[in-house]
Amino acid sequence: MGRSFDGEWQTLDGASLDEALRFIGTAEASLEPARQQIVNALFKSRVCTARTGEHVSAKEIREAVSGIEKALTRLGEGMRTLARARQTTDAAVAPRRAEALEAAHCLIIEEICNALPYSFGIEPKQVAASVPKYSRMGFTDEWGGFRLAGKSVSQKLANLDMNAFALPTRMPSIERDDLIRDLGAIYSQVTGKEPTAWRPEGNSQADAKSEFHQFLVKIWHVADMDPVPSPAVINAALKQ
């Protein structure tokens, strides 16, 4: 539905937030701090927004995890094949083959290390030192454990609940009510009026939305959340 509650924070549409703030009479000079207050309130409530269609579906995540699992399995198999080829190649008999195998092994390991985060602090000399070395006297292979990575990852992924990747269908009520109260405080600060769920001259019917309720509707739409809270929900949250 274009929103989630545990993902990466995305940039909100500032112009639409300003429009919502102007609706309740926010002065132009006060738009920026008020806008930041709304962003803070949304962040506090763990609402992570993205434009409709930009969220990654559970199906896409499952396919990505499966693809990574297969890639790791193939990478592990490839490393195992290279290791076996080097172990069975006598450099004295087939020097060109031995050199080519070592070069390929070295390049692949370098690329794997380059793909790791810089924070790991892996230096080129450490990468070079880790490249498996084979000779008639035996061999050393610090990457031996990596050859089993594919199988190991596959076993661990099998224990994951793939259904857990689905986005929640509704905003949790506690976070929703906290957000309503935080937005109520912003509304009161801007207008000098207490936030209400219904117009004073109206009644509890859907056609009697208060200014504050209409303000909430605008914020909910900017953040691409649903469902928009009803007057009854707003009233209950404000009374807590």
pLDDT of residue 8: 40
Per-residue pLDDT reduced to its tens digit, 43-59: 887 665 444 455 677 78
Is the pLDDT assigned to residue 116 strictly greater than 50?
yes
Is the pLDDT assigned to residue 36 strictly greater than 80?
yes
pLDDT of residue 11: 55
What average pLDDT does the segment 68-96 reach? 85
What average pLDDT does the segment 149-168 reach? 65
Lowest model confidence (mean pLDDT) among 154-163, 171-180, 223-232 = 154-163
Q: Maximum Cα–Cα distance for the chain, whole Å?
A: 97
pLDDT of residue 187: 94
- Burial label for 216, CB within 10 Å (0-12, 13-18, 19+), is buried
Q: Which residues of 128-159 are buried (b: 16+ CB within 10 A; e: fewer)?
A: eebbbebeeeeeebebeebbeebeebeeeeee
